[in-house]
Structures are given as structure tokens and as C-alpha cells.
Amino acid sequence: MGTICVTGSASGIGAATKQRLEAEGHRVIGVDMRNADVIGDLSKADDRRRIVEEVTVACGGVLDGLVPCAGVSTPAPNELVVRVNYFGTLAVVEGLRGCLEKGSNPAVVMISSNSTTMTPGLPVEEAMAYLNGDEESLVARHTAPHTFVAYPAGKLAIAFWVRSQAAAWMASGIRLNAVAPGVIDTGMTRPLLDMPGVKDSLDMIPIPRGRWGKPEEIAGAIHFLLSADASYVVGQVLFVDGGTDALLQPTAHPHPLPGGR
Ligand code: NAD
């Protein structure tokens, strides 16, 4: 049994993850804007620093797992999408790295999204801009209120970050992986059903499983990736989306190294 920090623990996937981990006997330190052990706003630099400090005190400087689940999407402004989903997430992950290094078989499971592979024409350079840019330049890049690129590009950047950092973090003993959920029935998606244009686009998403996912189904995958059963799983982005990604791009992954015949 371990001590695991879950951000966004008050609702949806984070709440289901907290519940599942506690049912398995783990101690969970929840972080959220309300109804959590550590309260704070991950869009704000001062709060991020305080959250890291308070989680560090709460876990006694030793953390076995981290699930940075807090996030926002439409109709939240792009500024919040950029600040919370990417920069707030990385601030917590990097801020708690020292605690994870002291943990037992430590693992981080980040939250990407299948919007990374099913948004038509999503420019890869938008994800690279997140990876290479600073927070204020990314906020400025996504000032237009009605573009939907900030969210999927940020989630693509999270996936790229996990894959590119996994070896270095493994050298410190920490397994880095991500889940990429499809449309999951949570407080994030339910309000979208009342937005005519958005509901129509959601209805057009082909889902072989035939329905939206449940938060518990993502929590199950997160629990697996944190567990000893996943001890050899490193740097992976596990799509948990009812089959949409495989249906839309059946031969895109795995992708052989270029140069072979
Ligand atoms: P949710 O709205 O039910 O829960 C998100 C939680 O994050 C809330 O408790 C909220 O208070 C917290 N949060 C938001 N902004 C915060 C901030 N500034 N500081 C601290 N906490 C903050 O949403 P969810 O669907 O459970 O989403 C969880 C994660 O899963 C997000 O990263 C989201 O992008 C991702 N995701 C969701 C879906 C989906 O269809 N629901 C699909 C793919 C990925």
C-alpha cells in the first residue's frame, strides 16, 4: 500500500481514481479547488508552489504515486486550458519529483486525451510549441476565444512529454505513463450536451464500444498503470476510448522506425 497524490480529486475521473485507490488500501492526498485535502488553484503560480509544499508535508516527503488529473475544457477560456492542463500539471509533476524518488516503486500517470488523434488537422507544431514555449507565450498564442486547438494540442504535448521524459525519469526509478481517455461522462462533458454545436460534434464521434466511458473505467486503467502489474510499462500512452482511436487510425501505431526496407 502506498501514498498517492491525485489532483482534480473532487470530481469525475480524479474522484473515481481516488475512490478506487482508497478501496485498494492506498492513502490518497487529494488536491482540488474545493473538497480536497489540499486546496488550491493550479492556474496560479503561487498556488502551485503552495500545493507542492502542502502535499510534500502531507506525505512526509515520500510519495509512491501521482495522478495529475485536474483539467478544464470548453467552455473554459483557452487561457485556463493552457495554464491548468499543461503548465499546472507539469508544475505539480516536477515539483513532487523529489518525493516520488523516495517512494516505493513510484509511478506517475498523466492524463492525455483521444482528442490528440481524432481532431482533424491538429497541427503537431502546436504541441511542440507547448513543449518548447513558456507559459505566457502559450497563453498569448491561444488568445482567440473560439479556437479548439489549445485543448487537444496541450494533451498531445502531455503525451509527447511523457514519452520524451520516460527514460530520464526511469533512471530515477519513476515510471511515467499516461492514459488517453475518450469521451467520459463527467462534470466536464455533461454541460456540453446543452451546447447545440458541441453536442452535434460529440454525437458524430464513432465509438465501437457504443457509449461514452465511465470515470471508473479510466480509474481502472490508472490503477493498473500505478500498480506492480505494470512494473514493465514505461513511457506509454494507453488509449481508453472505447475503440475510437483504433477505428480512425488502424495502422498509425505501432509505427516502425524510419529507414528500414
Ligand atoms: P471534471 O470537471 O469532472 O474534473 C476536473 C477536476 O479538476 C474538478 O474537480 C476541478 O475542480 C479540478 N480543477 C479544474 N481546474 C482546476 C484548477 N485550476 N486547480 C485545481 N483543480 C482544478 O473533469 P474530468 O472529465 O474528470 O477531467 C479530468 C481530466 O481528464 C482532465 O485533465 C481532462 O482534460 C481529462 N479528460 C477528460 C475527458 C472527458 O471526456 N471527461 C476526456 C479526455 C481527457
Interval 54-91: pLDDT, tens: 999 999 999 999 999 999 998 899 999 999 999 999 99
pLDDT value at residue 116: 97
CA of 247 to the centre of ligand 1 (A): 25
Task: Return d(Cα 28, Cα 15) in angstroms, integer.
Answer: 11
Pull the grid cell for residue 35: 473538497
CA of 91 to the centre of ligand 1 (A): 16
pLDDT value at residue 146: 62
pLDDT value at residue 231: 98
Pull the grid cell for residue 10: 473532487
Instruction: Report the phi/psi class of residue 58: left, alpha or beta, with left for phi > 0 and alpha for psi in -120 to 50.
Output: alpha
- Quick one: which atom of ligand 1 is closest to the CA of 68? 32
pLDDT value at residue 101: 98
CA of 42 to the centre of ligand 1 (A): 12
Contact predicate 92/132, CB 8 Å = no
> Pocket of ligand 1, candidates 7, 9, 13: which has the most ligand atoms within 8 Å of its Cβ, to mutate?
13
| Closest C-alpha to ligand 1, atom 39 | 184
| Closest C-alpha to ligand 1, atom 22 | 70
Q: Residue 169 CB: number of other CB atoms within 10 A?
A: 21
Calculate helix-pair angle for 150-171, 124-132, nearest 10 degrees. Answer: 50
CA of 170 to the centre of ligand 1 (A): 27
Task: Return d(Cα 156, Cα 152) in angstroms, integer.
Answer: 6
88-113 exposure pattern, b = at least 16 Cβ within 10 A, e = fewer: bbbbbbebbbebbeebeebbbbbbbb
> Pocket of ligand 1, candidates 188, 207, 216, 244: which has the most ligand atoms within 8 Å of its Cβ, to mutate?
188
Write out residues in the chain with pLDDT < 50, as ranges.
none
Instruction: Report the phi/psi class of residue 64: left, alpha or beta, with left for phi > 0 and alpha for psi in -120 to 50.
Output: alpha
> Pocket residues for ligand 1 (CB within 6 Å)?
8, 10-14, 32-33, 41-43, 69-73, 84-85, 111, 113, 181, 183-184, 186-189
pLDDT value at residue 8: 98
Contact partners, residue 90, CB within 8 Å, separation at least 6: 161
- Is 151 a residue of the active site? yes
Q: Residue 235 CB: number of other CB atoms within 10 A?
A: 16
pLDDT value at residue 147: 73
